[in-house]
Amino acid sequence: MTVTLELSDDALARLEAEAARRGVSIDSLINQLASRLPQRSGPTRRRKLGIVGLGASTSGRRASEADEILAEGFGQS
């Protein structure tokens, strides 16, 4: 398969240097590097953030009201 890549000069120089160090072509090096990537799995699941819901509001306002709170000037001195 043919693939065209747009690389910075620095990235290309790094690939050339590493390929030369290993004694392989750039194509072979990219194939080796890509083979180390995780296997493609099913649909990506969204992570739940562990920090969500840790605080308690003392104002009684909810996150669903964030746009209103910001419009009222929250955090501005």
Report how many domains make up the chain: 1
pLDDT per position as a tens digit, 33-58: 999 988 877 666 777 766 665 666 67
Which residues, 6+ apart, have CB-to-CB distance to 16 below 8 Å?
A: 26
32 within some domain? yes
Q: For CA atoms 33, 34, 39, 45, give the dihedral sign.
A: positive
47 within some domain? no
Q: How far apart are CA 4 and CA 9, in angstroms?
A: 15
Give me the domain span that covers residue 25: 1-37
Instruction: Give percent above pLDDT 90 in the chain.
Output: 42
72 within some domain? no
- pLDDT attached to residue 39: 82
Read off the pLDDT band of 74 (50, 70, 90). Answer: confident
Concatenated DSSP letters for 31-52? HHHHHTSPPP-SSPPPPPPTTT
18 within some domain? yes
27 within some domain? yes
